[in-house]
Chains A and B, each alone.
Chain A
Amino acid sequence: MLLDSVQSAFLLLFSFNPELFEIVGVSLKVSFGATLIASIIGIPSGFIIAYSVFPGKRLLLTCLNTLLALPTVVIGLFVYSFISRRGIFGSLDLLYTQKAIIIGQVILIIPVITTLAIAAVSRIDSRYRMTALTLGANRFQMAVVIMKEARYGILAAVIAAYGRVIAEVGISMMLGGNAKGFTRTMTTAMALEYDKGEFVLAVALGITLMTFAFGINMLFHFFQGKTRHDTV
């Protein structure tokens, strides 16, 4: 049965089935949007946390590390309570839209990007900071120098976050509602097809998702390797 499903899935993939490509398109678009927003927030936050000394820094780092293991259904439930019709932002009609999925996914990966950015920036030799300052750089110019030196580590953080959102199912299901053509992502479609007992599309999407996951991991390891090479 599995072999039949895999064979049919490959046939579906190579027949360029429009429904399949629509689902993949929604997944990529939503994941890209979430990763972009989370990067804009997470990367500067990681830099500020790494280079600042303030009371409660250790506690904040512990909280961020704890948030890495936050279940997607908890985030789904949390965001739902705000954007559902009776929630504070209910009037914005965000529930069961791609925007709702993006909001949930941003919350999911901000801790991922922030903690990995902290690690990437902290690995950078403190002499870069000192050198930039003594050559007359201001705080912002110094930050640009550090970011440039930590670019591979930061890129690895972004890729890891993208991998996390493209593979999650809880948030997409709870906040997107799995509406065909609008909020149906690869993972929610797979869950639905499984429920229906239709394995062909589920396996085809699984193959696509695995291919993406493999590609993302390859990129992640490539950039991580670059980071290590640079620090030798």
Chain B
Amino acid sequence: MILYKLENLQRAHGSRTVLNIDFLEILSNAIYTLIGPNGAGKTTLLKVLAFLDRPSSGRLHFDGQLIRLNEKHLHSLRRRVVLFDQNPILFTGTVRKNVEFGLKVRKVSKEVRKQRTEEMLELVGMENFADSETRGLSGGEIKRVALARALALHPDVLLCDEPTANVDGENQEIILNTLKQINREEKTSIIFSTHYLSQGQRLADHTLLLQNGSLSDLVNENIFRVALSQPKAGKILCKLTEHLSFTLPTERVPSGTDIAKLHIDPQKIVLDPKEKDMAHGTYLNGHIFDLNQEGSRVRVGIDMGVRLTVAFSMEEYRRKQPRLGEKRELFIPYDAIVCTKSDLLQS
């Protein structure tokens, strides 16, 4: 079932458009991750979805109905959707009063409030802090209380803006496990933003990539800013760093620009190629600095002067057995490279 539908939705601040989505459908009962660099529009999109920010133009549907931007309508919708902020703030008072807040404004009875508050604090491991003042809590504890406060409302949708940012490993695990648990047990739809692709993909059923306010098909890794030279014999030299460059066929490079954005698909990179195929790709060397497993796939971080991620299957991993610190050769086929004229300057 479709939960949200966005059509030609834009949000502008003055002359600057911070969000520009042609079309997006979000399904209910699923976990979505929203990935993108700083300033990509993740927080703005979450605020629009939480009915806390109004789009400048376009249409937003929720649960099959077109959203009217009047306060009364938005207020009733906000009672079904909760935004868990990146840097949540707790109201002055005790932890219990904070968790009860949303229930109190909904006029839930005192007994139910007490019971649900205790359940939620237990869920996030903060049951011993119920009567503590919020002033003395650490950053991770504040996030957990804020999560309990949001979950106490049993929302249809939970929107989380970088839920694990600025939180230590232990608190990160608690927060992520809680999100998984409430999605599984209560069928709460979850949309969370993150900088970390691996964390997002580990938890989510669907991945949304935002770049410069628009949805993108490109995965937000292996993106580089390159300086382009003049074409020579049908090829253009792409300079990633002072000491690292390679050539690309002219037709794969946008014309009329000295700077371009380069995306290399991590799944198409070949580790230890058997045969040289200079006509269809380029060869580079680097040291393995990172290895991690994500479900049935392995991601290998390779430092070549810039850090590149290579992804392959477990079977291929067992066959090639990459080890940390080893120097390995890579083959990057031209069809793994997308070179576009863009103002994204992530390097």
Contact = CB atoms under 8 A, between A and B. Distances in A.
A131 to B, nearest CB: 6
A135 B88 contact: no
B85 A135 contact: no
A168 interface: no
Kindly state the interface size class of chain B when it binds its partner: 20 to 34
B106 interface: yes
B15 interface: no
Contact of A135 (B71, B87, B149): B149
B71 A139 contact: yes
A136 B85 contact: no
A125 B75 CA distance: 21
Interface stretch (B76-84, B180-188, B260-268): B76-84
Interface in B61-80: 71, 75, 78-79
Contacts of B102: 135-137
A138 B78 CA distance: 10
B101 interface: yes
Nearest to A127: B89
B50 interface: yes
Interface residues of A, number: 18
Interface in A134-175: 134-139, 141, 145, 148-149
Contact of B105 (A128, A136, A149, A230): A136
Interface in B41-59: 50, 52
A151 to B, nearest CB: 9
Nearest to A137: B105
Contacts of A139: 71
B153 interface: yes
Contacts of B89: 125, 127-128, 131
B91 A136 contact: no
Contacts of A125: 89
B143 to A, nearest CB: 13
Interface in A108-145: 125, 127-128, 130-139, 141, 145
Interface string B148-167: 01100100000000000000
A148 B92 contact: yes
A120 B309 CA distance: 50
Interface string A189-225: 0000000000000000000000000000000000000
A131 B78 contact: no
Contacts of A145: 91
B83 A138 contact: no
B82 A135 contact: yes
Given A138-B75, A148-B91, A148-B92, A131 B105 contact: no
A88 to B, nearest CB: 39
Interface string B82-121: 1101011101100000000110011000000000000000
Given A134-B50, A135-B105, A139-B71, A149 B83 contact: no
A214 to B, nearest CB: 29
Nearest to B47: A130
B105 A141 contact: yes
A145 B105 CA distance: 11
B85 A127 contact: yes
Interface string B136-151: 0000000000000110
A134 B92 contact: no
Contacts of B106: 136
Contacts of A131: 85, 88-89, 91
Contacts of B153: 135-136
A223 to B, nearest CB: 15
A139 B78 CA distance: 12
Nearest to B93: A148
A125 B89 CA distance: 9
B83 A130 contact: yes
Given A127-B87, A131-B89, A148-B91, A138 B52 contact: no
A130 to B, nearest CB: 6
A135 B78 CA distance: 7
A139 B88 CA distance: 20
Given A134-B78, A145-B91, A230-B92, 17 more contacts: A125-B89, A127-B87, A127-B88, A128-B89, A130-B52, A130-B85, A131-B88, A131-B89, A134-B82, A135-B149, A135-B150, A136-B78, A136-B105, A136-B106, A138-B105, A149-B91, A149-B92
22 contacts: A127-B85, A127-B88, A131-B85, A131-B91, A132-B101, A134-B50, A134-B81, A134-B83, A134-B150, A135-B82, A135-B102, A135-B105, A135-B149, A136-B75, A136-B79, A136-B106, A137-B105, A138-B75, A138-B105, A141-B105, A148-B92, A230-B92
Closest 5 A/B residue pairs (Cβ): A135-B102, A127-B89, A134-B83, A136-B79, A137-B105
Interface of A: 125, 127-128, 130-139, 141, 145, 148-149, 230
Interface of B: 50, 52, 71, 75, 78-79, 81-83, 85, 87-89, 91-92, 101-102, 105-106, 149-150, 153
